[in-house]
Amino acid sequence: MGLVQYAPEEEQNELASLLAKAASTKTVQRKVADGNKLSERGTITFTKKELSQMSDDTRKLFVYNNNIVRYRFYNGMYQARFRRDGYNIEVASKDFDVMKNKFFAALMEQTAHKPSKKPLMKDYLMQWLSEKKPTLKDGTYKSYESLIKTELIPNLGGKHIDQISRKEIQEYLFRIVEQGKNRTAQKVKQLLGAVFALAVEDYDFKNPMTKIKLPHYEVKKGSPLSKAEEKQLIEFCKNNLHLYGVHSLLVLLYTGMRLGELASMKIERQNNYTFITCETEKTRKGYATIRRRIPISPMFRKVWDMIDFEKAKKASSKTLSDTIKRVFPERHVHELRYTFISRCKECGCNLELVMLWDGHEFDKDVKSSKVDRGYTRYSDEIYFGDIEKVNYEL
């Protein structure tokens, strides 16, 4: 700085500023004559890029908790030491930048092997599931439980929840997609999103689900049976009444019930009307059970005497899937529901009544609001009479 006075006057301020800036960097070395005495002390500061590479807990040490990494220049070497919060780092080099890089590498290495105070993923998943159980329906709970035990625990369960990175989750989901399991990948992503949303609140770490992406996946909705296919199915059932599943298929075809609603099915009679009742499956746990009434159409009456209703209630989903694939290998059971709803509309039934029969809350073809439907109470004559339109030739 003493040399500044010999520079041209108009350049002295700029030169002094540049020298002061250079002196503030950690590469400037000041030595005493014998080169063996302590001549410089300071602190290591981290760039934004370096901080972004740290784990959340490590970053908090230096940003929120204001921990300082001190260094000294002694005997021609830059030396830094950090012994706290489970770290034990000591590095040295003749060059400041080399010393700092050594420190950062040691910090990353010890962070990777540092025991986490947060739970393992497998333990947190089971805790999350047990807390959710009181609010979930049995079917939803079993679906979550199966996904956790068959997918998440085998692939992520052995890591602490705060040590699972976004990159690791993204690669895991892509592996599922590469196996052709797009639907499973979507379910895993949705479940992990719910789990980590709660975990970051409990333990305060960065959510690894941020910016997780999956390829677009179009869910296969299926389609109604054609009338020719409907006739083919009825003929198959008629000729194979010994098969347990045919009775359920006929009920589903002419009631539009969901597979999970079969077990609650009852035949009831009231005011000279015979109808089927069942508990609507989509009712959320804790809400009042909705038992809906499904009138008997002329088409249903044509096959009524073929059906053993007790067998129809007890058939498993696998039995039904296997049975329908004997007739239509590419079809699935839920398409019988599409068929019932489509036939009712094709025959000119009141669209709002169709929604009441099949237990739907939304239908783009129905203009009245859910509130309006709640205030509407159809007479039995209309409610059961409109189904008489469902009568056609096969």
Q: What phi and psi values does residue 78 have, to the nearest 5 degrees?
A: -85, 130
Over the stretch 72-102, which tens digit does the pLDDT of each residue have? Answer: 998 889 999 998 877 889 999 999 999 999 9
Q: Are 134 and 151 contained in the same domain?
A: yes
375 within domain boundaries? yes
260 within domain boundaries? yes
For the chain, how are helix, strand and coil distributed in percent, rounded to 5? 55, 10, 35
Residue 66 has pLDDT above 70, yes or no: no
359 φψ region: left (φ > 0), alpha (ψ -120 to 50), beta (else): left
> How far is it, in rounded angstroms, from Cα 160 to Cα 120?
4
H or E element that contains 392 = none
9 within domain boundaries? no
24 within domain boundaries? no
Nearest alpha-carbon partner for 299 in 250, 244, 351, 350: 250
The amino acid present at 140, given as its one-letter code, is: T
42 within 8 A of 26, measured Cβ to Cβ: yes
> How far is it, in rounded angstroms, from Cα 223 to Cα 220?
9
The token pair at 169 is 């989750």
Q: Are 108 and 126 contained in the same domain?
A: no
Q: Following CA atoms 354, 359, 365, 368 in sequence, which dihedral angle do they give, to the nearest 10 degrees?
A: 100
Reading across the β-sheet that carries 291-295, which strands appear in turn? 266-270, 273-279, 291-295
Q: Are 242 and 383 contained in the same domain?
A: yes
* 3-state secondary structure at position 42: strand
> How far is it, in rounded angstroms, from Cα 341 to Cα 355?
9
What is residue 243's DSSP assignment?
A: S
Binned at pLDDT 50, 70 and 90, residue 370 comes out as: low
Q: Are 349 and 264 contained in the same domain?
A: yes
- Burial class from Cβ neighbours inside 10 Å (0-12, 13-18, 19+) for residue 115 reads exposed
State mean pLDDT over 176-194: 93
51-60, 66-75, 121-130 — which one is most confidently predicted on average? 121-130
> How far is it, in rounded angstroms, from Cα 134 to Cα 141?
9
The parent domain of residue 307 ranges over 227-389
Strands 266-270 and 273-279: antiparallel
Q: Are 374 and 320 contained in the same domain?
A: yes
What pLDDT is recorded for position 286?
58
Nearest alpha-carbon partner for 72 in 107, 29, 9: 29
Q: Are 59 and 96 contained in the same domain?
A: yes
Strand partners, 146: none
- Rg over alpha carbons for the chain, rounded to the nearest Å, is 35
- Using alpha carbons, list the distances in angstroms from residue 339 to 242, 326, 386, 391: 24, 18, 17, 14
Q: Are 262 and 301 contained in the same domain?
A: yes
Residue 117 or residue 320, greater confidence = 320
What pLDDT is recorded for position 39?
60
220 within domain boundaries? no
Q: Are 242 and 342 contained in the same domain?
A: yes
> How far is it, in rounded angstroms, from Cα 368 to Cα 362?
10
194 within domain boundaries? yes
158 within domain boundaries? yes
> How far is it, in rounded angstroms, from Cα 82 to Cα 308?
78
- The tally of domains found in the chain comes to 3
Listed in sequence order, the residues at least 6 apart from 62 whose beta carbon sits closer than 8 Å to its beta carbon are: 46, 51, 54, 69
Q: Are 254 and 380 contained in the same domain?
A: yes
Q: Are 374 and 307 contained in the same domain?
A: yes
The amino acid present at 294, given as its one-letter code, is: I
Residue with tokens 């199915």: 233
Listed in sequence order, the residues at least 6 apart from 145 whose beta carbon sits closer than 8 Å to its beta carbon are: 129
314 within 8 A of 307, measured Cβ to Cβ: no
CATH number for the domain that contains residue 292: 1.10.443.10
Answering whether pTM is above 0.85, one says no
Over the stretch 292-332, which tens digit does the pLDDT of each residue have? Answer: 999 999 999 999 999 999 999 998 989 999 999 999 999 99
Q: Are 138 and 247 contained in the same domain?
A: no
Binned at pLDDT 50, 70 and 90, residue 41 comes out as: confident
Strand partners, 81: 70, 90
Q: Are 266 and 372 contained in the same domain?
A: yes
